[in-house]
Amino acid sequence: MAAMAFDFSGRRVLVAGGSRGIGRAIALGFAQAGAAVSACARGAEGLAALRADGVAHVQAADLADAGQVAGWVEAAAAALGGIDVLVNNASGFGMGDTEEGWQRGLDVDVMATVRASRAALPHLRAAKGCIVNTTSISGLGPSVRTPAYAAVKALVINYTASQAAALAKDGVRVNAIAPGSIEFPGGTWEKRRKEDPALYGRILTGIPFGRLGTPEEVADVALFLASPFARWVTGQTIVVDGGQMLG
């Protein structure tokens, strides 16, 4: 990871959905770059591992629950002494075209992003901070295989632009990252490789670099967007997919 290229000493960073995969890489990336980091997720084991790896504050929270989102932001701000960066990374992974799939995506991917942003906003305004939302390349076009997931990720892309336009007057930047297919132990694409090799193979064939991405490659872009190097970047969705969308 290129975390050491950035210096976040003295910065306070919150990562929603930080216990595994991309979220874990983002939380560790900021911590390794000197930030005081708070992460939340449902998984106690993953949070304990983050704490052991140097993340300053962790809290178990179901991000589909409005009260738990607000409670985590409040506790994190108190523990860290404020908030400079909010990373909204959680996903309900509501893939299918079902009531449950749609509701999970709306509750976690969309409303957790809205609620955490609202709760953190007074601190972000005071710090002239920034928000980084994690969306997906699925949100940039139609999807027959994962219609609910694609739709809620499109909502996050649109909301990111709306946030950026509304908060620029307060000196708060808002951007998003749209990862392509990212593989890590225990993640969706590792499972697909084992359980649905045909689908995995089709995805792999469509990536010009001939491999899936890593969480660290997404985390490095999150650090860039939160750094002074991106001080004139707002309202953007940055695709991190190794050229997957070029096919």
The strand order across the sheet containing 130-134 reads 57-60, 36-41, 12-16, 85-88, 130-134, 173-179, 237-240
Report the alpha-carbon distance of residue 82 to residue 159 in Å, rounded.
24
Label the pairing between strands 237-240 and 36-41. unpaired
Q: Is there a catalytic annotation at residue 149?
A: yes
Helices 112-127 + 66-80 axis angle, to 10 = 30
Q: Please give the backbone phi and psi of residue 37, each rounded to the nearest 5 degrees, phi first.
A: -120, 140
| CA 178 to mean position of chain CA atoms | 9
Residue from 8, 102, 149, 184 carrying the catalytic annotation = 149
What sections of the chain are H helices per DSSP?
Answer: 21-32, 44-52, 66-80, 99-104, 112-127, 147-167, 188-195, 197-205, 215-226
> Residue 79 burial by CB count (10 A; 0-12/13-18/19+): exposed, middle or buried?
middle
Give Dmax over CA atoms of the chain in angstroms. 50
Going from the C-alpha of 62 to that of each of 41, 81, 144, the distances in angstroms are 7, 23, 28
Active site residues: 149
